[in-house]
Amino acid sequence: MEWLRRLLGTADDERPSGRESESRHGEPESAGTDATSETTDADGSRPRGGPHPPGSVPQGVALFVDGPNVLREEFDVDLDDVRAAAADAGPLVATRLYLDEHATPGLIQAAEARGFRVVTTSGDVDVRLAVDVTRFAAAGRASTIAVASRDTDFKPAVEAANEYGLATLAVAPGAYGRSDALRNAVDRGITLEESER
């Protein structure tokens, strides 16, 4: 995992640089949404999704959904079911849906209406999601990392979260094509079609 820490520019005792990320439209994201920020809200509380002060214990679940791998016709997955499965592990502090540039405006609107922050990328969705999972883990922005996918590519990212002492959860859309390697790397695995019975 050292290669990933070097890529992110973090060590065990450091936090990410706090650079603002860009939204899917290229504008910087505001400090109260999901961006890393050392500031507080007007009422003096820490912004939702901001880093935890040194010595504090992170709370809640950060949910990362691999859209191209989960939102497929053969699974008939409802984003509300994915959200509910992750919420069983604790209160949600971040919900992100990762999509490629071919995502329809209707899908993006439906996800946003369900409270997901949609992250679209022209590159590899898996890489962006894995980097974001690792950044969340390194910054201690949640106590649990939940990844909804059936892809083994996320095994190193959840292993990094485990190394940072976070609980990990894998949500699979169905038994067909479920990644046993990913499921074995996390603390707990859920298969949606099995949990609905």
Tens-place pLDDT, residues 120-131: 998 889 999 999
End-to-end alpha carbon distance in the chain: 38
Answer yes or no: are the C-beta atoms of 75 and 128 closer than 8 Å.
Answer: no
Q: Given the structure tokens 């949990």, which residue do they identify?
A: 195
pLDDT digits (tens, 9 = 90+) for 6-28: 545 554 444 333 333 333 333 33
- Calpha distance 174→189 (Å, rounded): 12
Is the separation of the CB atoms in 187 and 168 below 8 Å?
Answer: yes
| Calpha distance 75→58 (Å, rounded) | 33
**Helices within the chain (DSSP H only):** 2-8, 67-70, 79-87, 105-113, 125-139, 155-163, 180-185, 192-195
- pLDDT of 22: 36
Give the pair of three-digit tokens for residue 30: 């505001």
Residue 118 pairs in a beta bridge with 97
SS3 58: coil
**pLDDT at 39 (0 to 100):** 40
Q: Where are the alpha helices (DSSP H) in 43-141?
A: 67-70, 79-87, 105-113, 125-139
In this structure, is the dihedral angle defined by the CA atoms of residues 68, 90, 51 and 158, taken in order, positive or negative? negative
pLDDT per residue as tens digits for the range 31-82: 334 433 334 445 444 444 444 455 555 689 999 999 998 998 878 889 999 9
CA distance 141 to 34: 10
Going along the chain from its start, the domains and CATH numbers come out as 56-195 (3.40.50.1010)
pLDDT in tens, 102-116: 999 999 999 999 999
Per-residue model confidence (pLDDT) at position 151: 83
Pick 164 or 38 by higher pLDDT: 164
Give the model's pLDDT for residue 3. 47
Could you give the dihedral angle defined by the CA atoms of residues 14, 16, 18 and 19, in that order, rounded to the nearest 10 degrees?
140
In the chain, helix, strand, coil percent, each to 5? 35, 20, 50
Q: Which residues contact 20 (CB under 8 A, 6 or more apart)?
A: 28, 29, 31, 35, 36
